Chains A and B, each alone.
Chain A
Amino acid sequence: MTQPLKLRRVPAGNSFLRRLSADRPARAVYVALALLIVLGWLLFALDGGRFLSQENIVGIQQRSAALGIVAIGQTLVILAGSLDLSVAYLISLTSLVAAEIMAGADANVPAAVAAVLAVSALTGLVNGLIVTRLRVHAFIATLGVALIIRGALDERYDGPAGGVPESFQHLGYDRVGPFPVSALLWAAVGACAWLLLSRTRLGYRIYAVGGDAEVARLSGVRTERVVVAVHVLCSVCAGIAGLLLASRLGAGAPTVGTDGGYDLESIAAVVLGGTALAGGRGGVAGTVGGVLLLAVLDSIFNQLEVNSFAKDVVRGVVLVAALAIHARRRRTA
Chain B
Amino acid sequence: MRRALPIFVVLAGLLVAIAIANPYFLEPPAFLAFVKRAAPLVILAAGQYFVIVSGEFDLSVGSLVTAEVVIAARLIDGSAAATWPVLGLLIVVGALIGLVNGIVTTLLRVPSFITTLGTLLILSGAVFLWTGGAPRGALSPQFRELGRGSLGPVPWSVLILVAVAAAAIYAMRAGFGHTLVATGDNDRAAALSGVRVARVRTAAFMISGLSAAVAAILLGGFAGVSAQVGQGLEFQAITAVVLGGVALGGGRGSVVAAMAGAFTLEALFTLLNLYGISGALEPAVQGVIIIAAVALGAVNLPRSRAAAAP
Instruction: Please say whether the chains A and B touch (CB closer than 8 A).
Output: yes
| CB pair A137 B109 closer than 8 Å | no
Q: Cβ of A135 and Cβ of B306 under 8 Å apart?
A: yes
**A314 contacts which chain B residues (CB < 8 A)?**
125
Q: Is the interface of B mostly helix, strand, loop or mixed?
A: helix
Query: Could you tell me the distance in whole angstroms from the C-beta of A287 to the nearest C-beta in chain B?
Result: 14
Number of B residues whose C-beta is below 8 Å from A? Answer: 50
**Shortest beta-carbon distance from B308 to chain A in Å:** 6
Is the pair A130, B291 in contact by a Cβ cutoff of 8 Å? Answer: yes
Q: CB of B137 within 8 A of chain A?
A: no
Chain B residues whose C-beta falls within 8 Å of the C-beta of A312 in the assembled complex: 121-122, 124-125
Residue in B closest to A312 when the chains form the complex, CB atoms: B125
Expressed in whole angstroms, the Cα–Cα distance for A209 and B248 within the complex equals 19
Task: Decide: A137 near B284, CB < 8 A? Known: A277-B111, A324-B104.
Answer: no
Give Cα distance in the complex from A323 to B114, angstroms.
8
Question: C-beta contact mask, B282-306 vs A, less than 8 Å → 1, else 0?
Answer: 1111111011001100110100001
Complex interface: stretch among B6-14, B126-134, B211-219: B126-134
B66 within 8 A of partner (CB): no
A99-137 interface bits toward B, Cβ cutoff 8 Å, 1 = contact, 0 = none: 000000000000000000000000000000011101111
* Residue from the list B117, B283, B286 in contact with A268, Cβ < 8 A: B117
Residue A150 CB within 8 A of the other chain: yes
A316 touches B291 (CB 8 A): no
Chain A residues with CB under 8 Å of B307's CB are 135, 213-214, 217, 223
Tell which of A138-146, A159-167, A178-186, A239-247 binds the partner: A138-146
| A154 and B283 in contact, given A143-B239, A313-B121 (Cβ under 8 angstroms) | yes
Q: Is the CB of B283 within 8 A of A148?
A: yes
B287–A146 contact, CB under 8 A? yes
Taking a contact as CB atoms under 8 Å apart, the answer to whether A327 and B283 are in contact is no
Known: A148-B284, A213-B310, A319-B117. A136 touches B291 (CB 8 A): yes
Interface core residue of B118, B299, B307 (most chain A CB under 10 Å):
B118
Kindly list chain B residues whose C-beta atoms are within 8 Å of the C-beta of A309: 124-126, 128-129, 133
Task: Given A213-B307, A313-B121, verify A137-B294 contact (CB < 8 Å).
Answer: yes
Question: Which one, A134, A154, A271, A278, contacts B298 given CB within 8 A?
Answer: A134
Check A320/B284 contact, CB under 8 A, given A135-B306, A214-B308, A309-B126: no
Q: Write the chain B residue with the least CB distance to A217.
A: B307
Residue interface mask B96-107, A partner, CB < 8 A = 1: 000000001000
- Interchain CB contact under 8 A, B248 and A139: yes
Chain A residues with CB under 8 A of B284: 147-148, 150-152, 155
Q: B13: shortest Cβ distance to chain A, in Å?
A: 19
**CB-defined A-B contacts under 8 Å, sample of 9:** A135-B306, A136-B294, A137-B249, A140-B294, A151-B281, A155-B280, A214-B307, A317-B122, A328-B109
Residues of A within 8 A of B (CB): 80-82, 130-132, 134-141, 143-148, 150-152, 154-155, 209, 213-214, 217, 223, 227, 264, 267-268, 271, 276-278, 307-317, 319-320, 323-324, 327-328, 331
Which 3 residue pairs are nearest across A and B when measured between Cβ atoms? A151-B284, A147-B287, A312-B125
Q: A144-B294, A154-B279 are in contact. List 19 more A-B contacts (CB 8 A).
A: A81-B310, A134-B295, A137-B249, A139-B248, A140-B291, A147-B286, A151-B287, A154-B280, A154-B281, A213-B309, A271-B111, A277-B113, A278-B111, A312-B121, A313-B122, A317-B122, A320-B108, A324-B110, A327-B108
